Each structure stands twice: as C-alpha cells, then as structure tokens.
Amino acid sequence: MDPFVYDALAGRVVFGPGRRREIGDEVDRLGVDRVLLIADGFDLERASEIERVLGTRCVGVFTNVVQHVPVALAEQARELATSTGAQATVTFGGGSATGFGKAVALSHRLPQLCLPTTYAGSELTPIWGLTDGTQKRTGRDLGVQPVTVIYDPELTLDLPIDIAGPSAMNALAHAVEGLYGPGANPVMSAVALESVRVLVEHLPLMKQDPSDLDERSAVLYGAYLAGAVLAVVGTALHHKTCHVIGGLFNLDHGQMNAVVLPQALAYNAPAIADQYGRLTSLLGGDAAGTLFDLARALDTPSSLAQIGFPDDGVDVAAPLVAQAAADNVRSLTVDDAREFLEACIRGERP
Ligand SMILES: NC(=O)c1ccc[n+]([C@@H]2O[C@H](COP(=O)([O-])OP(=O)(O)OC[C@H]3O[C@@H](n4cnc5c(N)ncnc54)[C@H](O)[C@@H]3O)[C@@H](O)[C@H]2O)c1
Ligand SMILES: [Fe+2]
C-alpha cells in the first residue's frame, strides 16, 4: 500500500426519485427559515413546484440563469439575497444554476442546497466560476461547497439526449481523471472506478429508453460519484485542454468532453500503466478505445474539427495547453500538445 493523503469534503446527499419534495425539511435541518430559490428557467413548472414545497420559507425567486455566471447577473442574484434577507439558497438546475448559488455563497457566505438536473457535478465541489466579459475566473473556497444535495432522478427525465450524452461524458471525464489527477488517492480511485462502471453500463440503456427511471437513476448515481471524485482529486490534461480551447474558441463544454477524453486518456496511458490496466479490465477492452466507442454510441461528435475548432487554432492553443497541463501525469511539451490537439482534431479511434 503506497502512502497517500485524502482531503475529504463534507456534505449531505439525499438520493432517490421524488425526494425533491423533502427540500423544505432539508432547509429546516439547517435551522434557517428564509431561502432564495435560484431556478434555471428551462422548467418553470418544476421551479414553481419547488417554490410551493418551500412555502413561506421562500422569500425570493431568481430565474435569470445563463451559462458561465456573468458577473452582472450574479450581482442581481446577490442583491436579491440582500434585499430579501435570505439565509440560504436553494438552486435548481445544472452547473449554471449551481454556479449562481456559489456566486451568492462567495459574497454572502450563505449555505446552499442543490437540486441538480444534469451530470455536471458542480454541486459537490468547492470551486466557483464567474465571467467578466470574456474572462472566466475560477477559485476554490470551502465556503461555496454546497451543504446539501438532493439527487432526484425524476428531475432528469426530461433532459434531452443531446444534452444528457455530452453531460454524461463530462461526468465520465471527472471519474477517469480522478484516477490520476493531482489529488488522486486509493479511496477516490475506488469511487472513480465504480462511477465508470455504472456510467458505461447504464448510459447506452438510458439512451435506448430515456423515459426509464431506473436507467436515469443509475446514470445520475454514476455522475454523483464522478462529481465527488472531481471535488477531491481535481483535473488533469483533459479538463485543462477543454478549459483552454473552450475559452479561446467558445466551444461547447459537453461536446469537447466527448471528443477530448479518449484522446487525453490515450496520451496519458504510458504514465498511468496501473490505472489504465484497471480501466481496461473493467471495460473489457482497451480503455481509450472503449470510451471512444461509448461516445459514438451516445451520438456525440468525435472530432474538434466537427465542433468548430478553427483550422489555424493549433498554433495559438498548443503553448497554452502545454502551460495549463504543466502538472499532468505525463509531461507535455509544446510539440506534444500540438500532436495531441491534432489527434483531437482528427478524432480517430485511439
Ligand atoms: N465549479 C465546478 O466544480 C463545476 C463543475 C462542472 C461544471 N461547472 C460549470 O457548470 C456549467 C455547465 O453545467 P451543465 O453542463 O449542467 O450545463 P447547464 O446548467 O448550463 O445546462 C445545460 C442546458 O440544459 C438545460 N437543462 C438543465 N437541466 C435540464 C433538464 N433536466 N431538462 C431539460 N433541460 C435541462 C439548461 O437550461 C441549459 O440550457 C459550466 O459553466 C461549467 O463551467 C462547474
Ligand atoms: Fe467537467
């Protein structure tokens, strides 16, 4: 047994179909009685249902949720928290809604309860992000780590496959990189492998029948495990690359995940023989190739060329990727980054 450090994170998780209706009880558990509801507008009916369950505890509703938490909108949510005297936030939606709750937590130190509706995993992490113009700032602050998460798979039943597939590949990337990211440890590796097992088994079944609540539940469970791993271990080449090229060329995060993950895993393979072997035996075939096949089975794009990476983008991106991935398990020179990006642009099975 190798020595290790495991920095565990606190948080309460309530999981199960219909359990969103326990949100009022969960608020009471925190000993607060004034909450601001931050709800993604994709399903205002569901948001109203949550508001009803909260009853008089709900002192304000913010629905102006958009991607990447622009500072000006975050300020609106913060002002509402101040004017209503909110003592906590309840967020309903994907990583974007969670991000607004974190923005309020960052300025107001309010505890956050989350009702996630995608597989992003942000509800488990102490990482916040705010966008000012085109500049995205992120930071780690234990004060923004949500205190309670209710995973209700019924909230994901309407998540369309073209969002669910890329979002699930994002979750899978959290689990895979959790095996060799900067904070990797044997406890999180066990959780990561279980996450990969659950996601790889159930994603194709969920795609076959998106209305199957058991399959939706399994995928949400796998994504939960992946988020828990991300929160502790952090990210490696895959996410660093997505961050750089997403910022440079405004590419869709979910789609990038589907393209880059198999290629990043293949690049790292020589440096992670043990973890790669465990993944390969779990998946019953070469790990990078199997993940590539899974992404195809979910109808996600296979190459950066398909999702808008510009023809002359490698020159500007390669040095930035090499710099961002300086702590990657396998070293990456600018030339290596160039070759790696070219593999992502071609999008062939690794
Ligand atoms: N801080 C972290 O640790 C962390 C981790 C992961 C992601 N993120 C951030 O989260 C954001 C991405 O999150 P996301 O992928 O969940 O995207 P998202 O929250 O923007 O949701 C994607 C789209 O799906 C819609 N949607 C959400 N749930 C739905 C449902 N159940 N049914 C139908 N439509 C639904 C939304 O309205 C939106 O249009 C990014 O800004 C990313 O940077 C942060
Ligand atoms: Fe991610």
pLDDT along the chain (350 residues), means of 10: 94 98 98 98 95 98 95 98 98 97 98 98 97 86 98 97 94 97 97 98 97 98 98 95 91 91 98 97 97 95 95 95 95 98 97
Check which CATH number belongs to the domain holding 37 and give it: 3.40.50.1970
User: What does the pLDDT read at residue 253?
Assistant: 84
- In angstroms, the CA 175 to CA 235 distance is 10
Distance CA 131, CA 74 (A): 9
Residue 69, φ and ψ in degrees, nearest 5: 45, 70
In a domain, 302, yes or no: yes
Nearest ligand atom owner, CA of 126: 1
Looking at residue 336, its pLDDT comes to: 98
Of 171, 179, 163, 230, the residue nearest 200 (C-alpha)? 171
Domain boundary among 95, 129, 156: 156
Residue 172 lies in a domain: yes
Q: How many domains does the chain have?
A: 2
pLDDT at residue 247, rounded to an integer: 85
Residue 1 lies in a domain: no
| Structural domain boundaries, residue 305 | 162-346
Ligand 1: residues whose CB is within 6 Å?
A: 40, 42, 67-68, 93-97, 99, 117-118, 120-122, 125, 127, 129, 155-156, 158-159, 163, 167, 253-254
The answer to whether residues 102 and 247 belong to one domain is: no
What's the pLDDT at 154?
A: 98
Residue 58 lies in a domain: yes
Whole-angstrom distance, CA of residue 297 vs CA of residue 253: 19
Which residue, by CA, sits nearest to atom 3 of ligand 1? 122
Final residue before a domain boundary, out of 126, 156, 186: 156
Between CA 55 and CA 183 the distance in angstroms is 41
Question: What's the gap in Å between 306 CA and the centre of ligand 1?
Answer: 22
91 has which bridge partners?
A: 38, 114
181 part of a folded domain = yes
- Letter for the amino acid at 183? G
| Residue 78 located in a structural domain | yes
Q: Per the domain annotation, does 204 fall within a domain? A: yes
Identify the domain boundary among 120, 136, 156: 156
Q: In what order do the strands lie in the sheet with 12-15?
A: 12-15, 148-151, 112-116, 88-93, 35-39, 58-62
